[in-house]
Chain A
Amino acid sequence: AQSVTQLDSHVSVSEGTPVLLRCNYSSSYSPSLFWYVQHPNKGLQLLLKYTSAATLVKGINGFEAEFKKSETSFHLTKPSAHMSDAAEYFCVVIRNTGGFKTIFGAGTRLFVKA
């Protein structure tokens, strides 16, 4: 069975400081992992994806994530937060074996203080 756990419901950082949003997954298959960002009343925008290539994945807006199989983690990081990064972030596992299925994490709200 597949599941996704976002360990923090909300994270608050100051502008210019690093961001860490944590995600752990469980999957019976080799997972494809994604991070999406959602601004208020907007759809989801893809930040980055891991699909069994390089374990360190770089995405848009300075975000990156590292796939660590031993820790079953796919944490999202950014060296320096910007006010515009304040949003909801979703870690997502997609399985495409035996049927296409998307599993969403509960989301992490990122607050950025000036």
Chain B
Amino acid sequence: GAVVSQHPSRVICKSGTSVKIECRSLDFQATTMFWYRQFPKQSLMLMATSNEGSKATYEQGVEKDKFLINHASLTLSTLTVTSAHPEDSSFYICSARGGGNSYEQYFGPGTRLTVT
């Protein structure tokens, strides 16, 4: 099946700094990528949907100036957490789909962000 990678797998940063997380589709072109946040023992919460070459669509309650999403190519989307704070600590997961009538999403392995 299709493979989606995320980098880094875990990151620790100091409060006030910015962190960039990359999501790559390794063997297919992802017209749409999704960014999720997962709190401990909870389901995934969709943060935003990004389409290649256009602005991301953010879910209600997600600050677009804090969580910057760039989908510059068909194989790469990035999520930048700006001026991170301890409450931003979470597990971030991306997924990608190839578009058209395909129903499948392929999920990345996740990135554990810890803000100290």
| A residues apposed to B, CB below 8 Å | 32, 34, 36, 41-46, 49, 51, 90, 94, 96, 100, 102, 104-107, 109
The 3 closest A-B pairs by CB, nearest first: A44-B107, A43-B109, A32-B103
Task: Tell me the bound Cα distance from A34 to B104 in angstroms.
Answer: 9
Name A's interface SS: strand
9-residue interface stretch from B11-19, B38-46, B68-76, B81-89: B38-46
Note all chain A residues with C-beta closer than 8 A to B46: 102
Across the two chains, which residue of chain A brings its CB closest to B4?
A43
Note all chain B residues with C-beta closer than 8 A to A51: 103
Note all chain A residues with C-beta closer than 8 A to B105: 94, 102
Residue pairs across A and B with Cβ atoms less than 8 A apart, 10 shown, are A36-B107, A41-B112, A42-B110, A46-B1, A46-B104, A49-B104, A90-B44, A96-B102, A102-B34, A102-B46
Total A-B residue contacts, Cβ distance less than 8 Å: 46
Q: Does B79 contact A (CB under 8 A)?
A: no
Note all chain A residues with C-beta closer than 8 A to B104: 46, 49
Note all chain B residues with C-beta closer than 8 A to A104: 43-44
Check B103–A49 contact: CB distance below 8 A.
yes
Note all chain A residues with C-beta closer than 8 A to B4: 43
Across the two chains, which residue of chain B brings its CB closest to A97?
B101
Q: Does B28 contact A (CB under 8 A)?
A: no
Across the two chains, which residue of chain B brings its CB closest to A96?
B103
Task: Identify the interface centre among A45, A49, A104: most chain B CB within 10 Å of its CB.
Answer: A104
Task: Tell me the bound Cα distance from A106 to B41 in angstroms.
Answer: 9
Task: Tell me the bound Cα distance from A106 to B110 in angstroms.
Answer: 18
Q: Does B91 contact A (CB under 8 A)?
A: yes
Note all chain A residues with C-beta closer than 8 A to B107: 36, 43-45
